[in-house]
Amino acid sequence: LMLENDLRDALETDQLLLHYQPVIDLETGLLKSFEALVRWKHPKLGLVSPAEFIPVAERSMLINDIGTWVLETACRQVKEWHAVNSDIGLAVNVSIRQFRNPQFPDLVKDVLEITEYPAHLLILEITESMMQDDWESIRIIDEIRTLGVKWAIDDFGTGYSSLSKLAFLPIDYLKIDRSFTMEMLTHPPMQSIVQTIIDMGRNLDMELIAEGIEEAGQSLLLQHYGCQFGQGYLFSKPLPAEEIEQAYCLTT
């Protein structure tokens, strides 16, 4: 409850900030996009992880305001970087409550207009367990997709969902959960699972992004299996905008 009040203040007094983690084309090594990840610089507790405060925000209605702030701030930032490289994509995490908010499609449209961010370079990430193959979910995804926005399923392979959903969801990217990537070299049967996920994604016309790549061997194996994109500490941890600008020469 404490945290909830603090979180409301945080939003109003600029204590939230975004870090950006690059997504890399595994074959060329070129930058594809950034995933925006929210952080909270708490005046007393220091840096609080989203794993702690996003669930708090989700229990209240705060997640809608935080989510909108994240989307707008990230679009403005990457739009600035487009002056240097106009191909950079942006991935933003969407929580279940945002997704179910009837105003969400209009909100995304408004943010794209206000920030003049190109819709085709925005990817919205939802987790597997959020998705049901109900017509309402599909309608929301489709409505936002008609703007040109892309959709990704995050943490794929860890949620409690049935594979049959995937056949009905108009999704552009599958993100392979980092638990698979991390065990691929130490536990060879995991390689078969990863290979199967990649084949399935590709057969469904989805592009693949592997999460949690920490070693070159993982990257090579994923690439060999047909996974085009990856993110992880091998390339970069999530960094504040200023550090991203230095590392990727994005200052204008």
Among 34, 225, 232, 239, binds ligand G (CB under 6 A): 232
Shortest CB 251 distance to Na ion, Å: 26
Residue closer to Na ion by CB (options 6, 141) is 141
167 binds ligand G (CB under 6 A): no
Q: Among ligand G, Na ion, none, what binds residue 65 when CB lies within 5 to 8 Å by partner kind?
A: none
125 binds Na ion (CB under 5 A): yes
C-alpha distance from residue 120 to each of 7, 65, 171, 251 (Å): 32, 24, 14, 23
Among 6, 72, 128, 154, binds Na ion (CB under 5 A): 154
Shortest CB 252 distance to ligand G, Å: 25
75 binds ligand G (CB under 6 A): no
127 binds Na ion (CB under 5 A): no
Tell which positions 81-120 bind ligand G, by CB under 6 A.
Answer: 93, 95
Q: What angle do CA 151, 156, 157 make, to 5 degrees?
A: 155
Are the CB atoms for 7 and 62 separated by under 8 Å?
Answer: yes
Size of site (CB under 6 A) for ligand G? 21
Q: Among Na ion, ligand G, none, what binds residue 37 when CB lies within 5 to 8 Å by partner kind?
A: ligand G
Tell which positions 210-229 bind ligand G, by CB under 6 A.
Answer: 211-214
| Residue numbers at the binding site for ligand G (CB under 6 A) | 21, 37-38, 49-51, 54, 70, 93, 95, 154-155, 178, 211-214, 231-233, 238
| Residue numbers at the binding site for Na ion (CB under 5 A) | 93, 125, 154
